Structure 1
Amino acid sequence: MHWTRYAVGVLATLAGLLLVWYFRDIVGYIIVSAVLAIIGTPLAKLMKRVRVRGRSVPDWLAALVVLLLLWGVGVAMFAIFIPLVFDKLTALASVDFSTILASFEQPLRKLQNFLEEYFSLNVSTISISDTIGAQVERLFNPEKLQNFLGSIVSGVANAVIALFSITFITFFFLKDDNLFLRIILAVTPTKYEGNVKHALSSASSLLSRYFIGILAESTIMMLMVSISLICCGYLPQNAFFIGLIVGVLNVIPYVGPWLGFGISLLVSMAFVGGGTTMTFIVLSLAITILAAQMIDNFLLQPLLYSNSVNAHPLEIFIVILMAGHFAGVVGMLFAIPGYTVLRVIAKEFFNHFKIVRKLTEKM
């Protein structure tokens, strides 16, 4: 009887996971809506406390105003950056990177000779410049860029459906603070309802601080890099495009800053002209991004995140490596919030295990 109950539980769990996978698009809409609701709920609650002629703001009106604000921020960002991104991608498709890389032929040749002479590396049959050139041309292949643009256009219909669904669901999550909780409790055994309520409350609080911190950090990084590059003589549209790249990729832990620097360097070499030397481009970009990362690591992250995740840095590093191994860059992007939710759940339901108590003792 004991094993029968466990077998039924395992089969029910597997059936639930299969349903989630089958309806993964809808589940994704609900998760995104829940995240947006977590971000907007503090503002919605603040609006509900406002009294006009002795009456409080209706729940539907507070939810609608917050939803419009979220839409306004999103539309403003798209209106500013999407045309810029398309313009730069189109321009990249026509850039002759072989000419640009030719200017690095001499220093790359010196590097190759240095490796051959001092490290006894047999690289005489391999040209470093040719290898780098081949990789750059493969990455920025005009046909691939055009296909990428075409795939974006073809996905507009799906994006419209997704945006409408997310907007609709988010409105009701904002209107009714407990709606998501009631959905979860509807499929939760009665004896675990208290644990689920406490877990959702803790997870919402931690994730709210985390996501707001991520948005603020990316925006500040983008502005710092953009303004610094404009001061170095970059054209404003190029500076803001590079700042956008650095700000967006900065949300990927550890790897993001390096990706941002590498892509920004290629973009800079392609678009910064007017007699500007490659040495100046590399130095100005490296110093700008390094300075921004120093400010981010020692000032922004401690101020914005505080104890939002409540985990040891080594613990987070290992989790990010594991997520990157299983799901690549996307896994690294969602590693911290996903691990935060798992720790909250483990603390509520598996706290009798010693390892769980150790991992969650600061929560």
Structure 2
Amino acid sequence: MKPKELTRAIVQAFIIIVLLIGLYQVVLSIQSVLSYILIAAVVSLVGRPIAQLLKRIKFGNTLSSVTTIAILMTTFFGIVSLLLPVIFEQAKNLSLLNVNAFEATATKLMNELSIYLLDYGVDLQSWVDRSLAEVDYSFLPDTINTVLNGLSGFTIGVFSVIFISFFFLRDSGLLERMVMVFVADKNIKRVEKSIFSIKNLLSRYFIGLLVQITVLFIVYTLVLLIFGIPNAVTIALVCALLNIIPFLGPIIGTVLIVFLTMTSNLDASFASVTLPKTIYVLIGFTIGQLIDNFLTQPYVFSTSVKSHPLEIFIIILVGGLLFGPLGMIIAVPLYTALKVIFKEFYAHNKIVKALTKNI
């Protein structure tokens, strides 16, 4: 390669890198807006069958879109409202708690456990004392402010998604036209083909996700009913829905079920009733997660988005590192869309061939 060509190539590579870095910064700056658009696109994709059904029974375009949004909103807020009885009941349980008796029982258990561990050279009490002394409670005001800001952002996000979803449903070709604005005329056919494939794959993915949630819901409900946990159906539904968030969802669900199981049995003996029941429920939840990880998820990913579970695992990790929990949620749909696009435009690339051979 001649010096001039080499220099030109280096300059071009440098410019591309700078542009990519700039694009990444822009995406980070407007990631909330992009997230609203992506979520609205998903909502419209989920609601489109309802809207089409309403149109068949002579609903107008606008009316069918409004009705679909209303149905989806009712479903969403209905699920949220299911939490209220659980919250009120746990608050009631805590209000009836004999604090002194509970403290005495907990202290006794801690002492017994400390004595037991001392025989193995583990000084539990000293470790607990050191840990408590090292806790910096100054984080509490910041945490409260973060929660309040999060609630404010959530409210704005909900209304933004509803507004955007309405127009996506009302004009089914709106999103496609928005994309086509940036597409050269010679590539329109290929992009249209890509969009069609993406819709099919993502539709199957969301159906598979619904199957995954349903399986977990059934397993969780059975476990909670077997061990007599109050509000079993509601708790199981919430924990199953939390599973939508990869990795973090099951952890949050586990913490939630441990808390609810223990607070539902505060009037019972901790050592003989509450603790064993909590352990049994955790075992049941673990079985549910094993079923999900080794049966349901591989089936969903292999049949819907045509991706290997390890491939999905890496993509979810990358999404989480770049954009946090939201990135983990949208990682699979976004990756699937990118695979379809790359297959359409770079079908002869060796890496693309390997990644998209099943699509």
TM-score, scaled to structure 2: 0.75
Distance (whole Å) between structure 2 residues aligned to residue 323 and residue 128 of structure 1: 40
Distance (whole Å) between structure 2 residues aligned to residue 322 and residue 131 of structure 1: 38
Q: Paired residue for 1:171, among 161, 166, 170?
A: 166
The code of the aligned residue for 2:112 comes to: Q
Deviations 1:198-226 (A, max 9, x none): 22222222223323433453355345424
Report the 3-state secondary structure (helix = DSSP H, G, I; strand = E; otherwise coil) of the residue aligned with 1:40.
helix
Aligned to 1:27: 34
Distance (whole Å) between structure 2 residues aligned to residue 93 and residue 343 of structure 1: 54
The code of the aligned residue for 1:37 comes to: S
| Number of residue pairs aligned between Structure 1 and Structure 2 | 345
1:63-142 matches, within 5 Å, as 63-82=65-84, 84-85=86-87, 88=90, 102=107, 103=109, 105-107=111-113, 110=116, 113-114=119-120, 116=121, 123-124=122-123, 127=125, 130=128, 134=132
The code of the aligned residue for 1:71 comes to: M
Aligned to 1:243: 236
Deviates more, 1:306-315 or 1:150-159: 150-159
Distance (whole Å) between structure 2 residues aligned to residue 192 and residue 270 of structure 1: 60
Q: Paired residue for 2:198, among 196, 199, 203?
A: 203
1:1-363 matches, within 5 Å, as 19-48=26-55, 50-51=56-57, 56-82=58-84, 84-85=86-87, 88=90, 102=107, 103=109, 105-107=111-113, 110=116, 113-114=119-120, 116=121, 123-124=122-123, 127=125, 130=128, 134=132, 144=140, 152=147, 157-218=152-213, 220-222=215-217, 224-236=219-231, 239=232, 242-244=235-237, 246-254=239-247, 256-276=249-269, 277-297=273-293, 300-301=296-297, 307-327=303-323, 329-363=325-359
The code of the aligned residue for 1:36 comes to: V
With over 3 angstroms needed to count, the CA separation of the structure-2 counterparts of 1:8 and 1:200, relative to structure 1, is: farther
With over 3 angstroms needed to count, the CA separation of the structure-2 counterparts of 1:99 and 1:186, relative to structure 1, is: farther
Deviations 1:233-288 (A, max 9, x none): 2232xx45643553233223355434532442244334422324244223321232
Q: Which runs of 5+ in 2 are unaligned?
A: none
Deviates more, 1:26-35 or 1:325-334: 325-334
Distance (whole Å) between structure 2 residues aligned to residue 274 and residue 243 of structure 1: 23
With over 3 angstroms needed to count, the CA separation of the structure-2 counterparts of 1:282 and 1:133, relative to structure 1, is: farther
Shift of 1:315: 2.0
CA contact (8 A) 2:194 2:344 kept: yes
Deviates more, 1:227-236 or 1:82-91: 82-91
Shift of 1:81: 1.7
Instruction: Work out the percentage of aligned pairs sharing the same amino acid.
Output: 29
Aligned Cα root-mean-square deviation (Å): 4.3
